[in-house]
Amino acid sequence: MEFVHPEILWGLGALAIPIVIHLLHFRRFKRVQFSQVSFLKDVQRETKATQQIKHWWILLLRLLAFAAIILAFAQPKLVSMEGNGISGTGGHAVSLFVDNSLSMEGMGEEGQLLQSAKNKASLVVNQYKPTDQFQVLTNAFSGRDQTFLTKDQALERIESIRIDPNTQPLPAVLQRVSNQLIKADDRQQTAYLFTDLQKSTHQLTDDIAVPDSAIQWLFVPEIAGNTPNIWVDSVWFTEPMRISERPAALQVRLRHNSKTSVDAVPLTLNVNGDRVAMGTFNIVPGIPTDTVLRFTLGAKGIQQATVHIEDAPIRFDDDWYFGYDVVDQIQITLLTGKPSGSVSSSIQRLFSTAQDLYNMNVQTQWTPGMLTDRHCIILSDWPVQGSGFANAMEAFCREGGTLVILPQYKATDPALLTALGTSNQNKWIEQSDRVQRLVSEHPFFQHMFDRIPERMDLPVTEAMWNRTLAPQEEALAWTERGLPFLTRLPVGQGQAFLFSTSGDEDQTNLTRHALWVPILLRMAEQSAAGKIHQGEIGELGTWALDIDNENSQDLALEGEQTWLPEVRQTGTELRISLTGIPLNAGHYDLTSAGRPLAAIGLNQNRKESDHAAFDVLGFESQWSDLGWPPMKVIASTSSTLPQVIKRIEQGTPLWKACILLALIALFLETILLRAWKQSSKA
């Protein structure tokens, strides 16, 4: 409690006057002689006791009335929260954070959440004096928001706020506010945060910096209605490569926060501005929905695609933009020390009959530059190399390429195996064995066979490479002796396939077997896991491309505007920095001197898609559980907010209550005096 005129409280000392008068006022009794006085003594004793009680009650009521009147003139007020202890001689410094993130597109009781927040922020500003200072802050964290504004400037800034794709966590907002208000240490500091209390951005943990206790923290929540939201979460292709004029299946994952089932939601796919697929999907409460869009790939080249759904009123996450490449040939390199050997000849014949789908070149020597634009590298009768070759092959796989190893008999490359992360044992078993089982349920064999016969004729071997598999290595075929015949080893974004035989005809019939062709073609088909170029704004900091570009100064990022990003060439990988560029959702082309190299789709951050929010009690609870300085959540409408702000900043006046208390005390005194007067007459 505070007093507007605390000097008047000295008047409470005057309460001693009626106390002294009551203590010094002794009533004199006249002595009368009477023969029988025993009865009179009892009457006198009872009368004295009654008068003492009456005097003390009257005294207390009068003291209460006088004290209440004095307090009323001192004008007490009840301050619900205290700021930094400054009485306001320097005025106020007020920070207003208006949450303009994408979730504020939602609708609440007073219309769109952002518009309601702006209206309330303007009402708050109008409660202050023109001499006060204001900071208006949004999710953009613009440099201009780190200066104090006048009252009129603050109102103009609030009116200009629009939805912004940036999203800031609450701790970052609190720190930003503190950094500005600390500059006004001669003023009373107050921060208003107009936000939807969304759980994804307002979750607090004990490792967050404690808010400044010198600031009065006030939250004005904008709670969204119960309208469910559906959003596109991610997309991916079933097959690793996109080959021109071939069918493709695009997998689409959709998420939602609906508590009821929704049927027949429309879904479309546009490629380069043309609609190529459409369908509908149903959602089930509590689980994401996966669906597929099937279409035919067009001509080779860079493609810009968009998946779109119809979902209102929150629309920022209804589109998912992405880019991909379509190729007309799979680029394969065969590294061999025996280009005319039986195994090398078999491999060359196999790919030469595939109607120009594969482009193979045979090399007996290697250079790092030859790996550029290659999808698959096959090693057959390849001599042991040094660590430089091993590191180059590991990098090739990690960036999305496929390596096929047909090991040399009793001459495996330990450096290469170590770089790939598998056992480098060089132990061989020379005895007859037969492939007993294919792991047909593995995705590698999907759609390879129309039907798998019960007794399939499988390859036989006379010498096998025996080694221990790495933990992440997957066996695709096993022999009767329980040895792995063919394995797949994931390496980064790519993979390596390892046979346990060299393929020589004196060791195995593999190259003459019917399985040889489909297995090697499937490895080639999966060789270039053509990347989908996509990401979310604020989450994707670097776009990595398997491109060797000599002159990075000619590179530009072209969309609605043209940007010159920071570019670094690391080996055969080109890394484009997207941090700090104010990009909007949509498609962007990476160009070199005007020539397109790749396309990427940037999407609005999905953190805001699930608009599940704290209620007032839940948010207050998590704040208080951390032991942070006091704060207050003001859950009021635009019509009542000014009165609430006035009470918070100026306090609740109590002088009327003091006047009422004085009147009640005088009324009770009058009632008691009349009651005792009537009883004395009786």
- The residues, ordered by sequence, that sit 6+ positions from 119 with a Cβ below 8 Å of its Cβ are 110, 638
The Cα 292–Cα 251 span in angstroms is 5
CB 439 within 8 A of CB 475: yes
Report the run of H or E that residue 420 belongs to, with start and end: helix 414-420
CB 461 within 8 A of CB 511: no
Q: Do domains 92-224+612-650 and 330-525 have the same CATH topology?
A: yes
- Give which of 277, 228, 227 is closest to 251, Cα–Cα: 277
The Cα 510–Cα 461 span in angstroms is 8
The Cα 293–Cα 6 span in angstroms is 76
- The residues, ordered by sequence, that sit 6+ positions from 319 with a Cβ below 8 Å of its Cβ are 232, 306, 307, 308, 585, 603
Q: Domain 330-525 falls in which CATH fold?
A: Rossmann fold (3.40.50)
CB 112 within 8 A of CB 225: no
As a residue count, the chain comes to 682
Q: Domain 534-603 falls in which CATH fold?
A: Immunoglobulin-like (2.60.40)
Domain ranges of the chain: 2-79+654-681, 92-224+612-650, 230-325, 330-525, 534-603
CB 251 within 8 A of CB 292: yes
Residue 23: both structure tokens together: 């203590």
230-325 classified as CATH 2.30.40.10? no
| Domain 92-224+612-650: which CATH number of 3.40.50.410, 3.30.70.141, 3.30.70.3420, 1.10.3720.10 | 3.40.50.410
List per-block mean pLDDT (blocks of 10 residues) for the chain, which spans 682 residues: 67 73 57 56 52 67 79 67 47 94 85 92 92 94 90 95 88 94 90 92 89 92 82 88 86 90 91 93 89 91 94 85 90 91 91 79 88 88 90 88 91 91 88 90 80 79 90 92 93 90 90 90 77 88 79 82 87 82 91 89 88 89 91 87 74 73 81 72 57
* Paired sense of beta strands 460-461 and 433-438, if any: antiparallel
* Paired sense of beta strands 133-137 and 111-112, if any: unpaired
The Cα 322–Cα 309 span in angstroms is 15
pLDDT on residue 88: 47
At residue 29, the 3 state secondary structure works out as coil
At residue 570, the 3 state secondary structure works out as strand
- What 8-state DSSP symbol labels residue 421? T
- The residues, ordered by sequence, that sit 6+ positions from 20 with a Cβ below 8 Å of its Cβ are none
Sign of CA dihedral 108, 111, 113, 116: negative
CB 476 within 8 A of CB 522: no
